[in-house]
Amino acid sequence: MIQYVVDGLVNGSIIALGAVGLSITYNVLRFANFAQGEILAIGAYMSMALIVLMGVGIGSIGPVSFGWPLLVSIAFSIVLTSVTVLLVDWMLFRVLRRRSASRITFIIAAFGLSLIFRNIITLVAGADQMFLSFYIPKAIPVIGNFKVVPDDVVVLIITAICVVVLHSFLTSTTVGKKMRAVAENPVLAMVNGINVKSVIRWSWVIGASLSAIAGTLHAHVTQLDPEMGFELILPMFAALIVGGVTNVYGAVLGGFLIGLTEAFAVSMDLSAYRGAIAFLIMIVVLILRPQGILGEKERDD
């Protein structure tokens, strides 16, 4: 049972980090980014590319089966994923913003983009599964009979660090404060002298960086394949809605809830329905509390 909980938390970490990216685009750019799953996948494949190029495996630190090569590749992936996303924003979403296109147009564009990304991955890396390493999770005893897989613990620690860094970024830095202002009222933010274009770029970079981390960790604990983004997008949306779309910490909470529920479903032998379970929870929340657990009622704008 304890293993299911740990699995749920690890899976939840990845969903949570991805959902934070969704939350930022949802609140700053104001649309549901259907390409978010593929941004995670791009992050994972970028790391994979560097690990293949370096050819030294993923290293190890003590009982943890990955070391500096994986961390270096995550850093590399953060940069390249951010650049990719900024480029796509510049080519596509910027043009739509300039034309004051409707929100639906943005969503459709993102949906089309997800398909393009997914198939570019297939085209470049092939449709087959790939693995970052020959990692086989091995639990070690911590206290008495209580065993955990060291890598799982590290994934949780990395996620915790990301959330703390994100929190201090949003509350203590000027860019973070500007971002919250734009999220709440873009016109008022503009007349406060905030460069909304720069805030938008920052939002993409933060979303892409968290996605690169989440995608790589996901690739490490499971595997890579072109469908990985597609499989993650519904749980991420569910996390966003369950936690509350207007609250970035809601996305984190929602991520863990969805991760744990999925693990619970697996323990009940319902793994075939994993995707549908995230969806069911989402629907229940939409019926009972449409603003989500931590969300506030949205002013429609």
Residues making contact with another protein (CB under 8 A): 26, 31-32, 34, 92, 95-96, 100-105, 107-109, 111-113, 115-116, 119-120, 122-123, 126-127, 174, 177-178, 180-181, 184-185, 187-197, 230, 233-234, 237-238, 241, 272-273, 275-276, 278-280, 282-283, 286-287, 290, 296, 298-300
Residue closer to another protein by CB (options 78, 110) is 110
**168 or 192, CB closer to another protein?**
192
Give the residue from 195, 175, 204, 196 showing the smallest Cα distance to 91.
204
Q: CB-wise, 107 or 139, nearer to another protein?
A: 107
Judged by beta carbon, residue 32 or residue 44, the one nearer another protein is 32
Q: Buried b vs exposed e over 131-170: b needs ≥16 C-beta within 10 Å?
A: ebbebeeeeeeeeeeeebbbbbbbbbebbeebbeebeeeb
CB of 45 to another protein, least distance (A): 14
Least distance between another protein and beta carbon 188 (Å): 6
Closest distance of CB 148 from another protein, Å: 31
**Nearer residue to another protein within complex by CB, 142 or 195:** 195
Residue at token pair 């270096």: 72
For 2, residues 6+ apart whose C-beta sits below 8 A from its C-beta are 146
CA distance 220 to 300: 40
CA distance 246 to 32: 12
Handedness of CA 154, 160, 166, 168 (dihedral sign): negative
Nearest approach in angstroms of CB 63 to another protein is 37
Q: Give the nearer residue to another protein in terms of CB position, either 141 or 269.
A: 269
* Least distance CB 198 / another protein (angstroms): 8
User: What whole-number distance in Å separates Cα of residue 124 and Cα of residue 144?
Assistant: 47
102 burial via Cβ count (<10 Å: 0-12, 13-18, 19+) = exposed
Nearer to another protein, 61 or 115 (CB): 115
Q: How far is the CB of 133 from another protein (least distance, A)?
A: 25
Kindly state the smallest distance separating residue 3's Cβ from another protein, in Å. 24
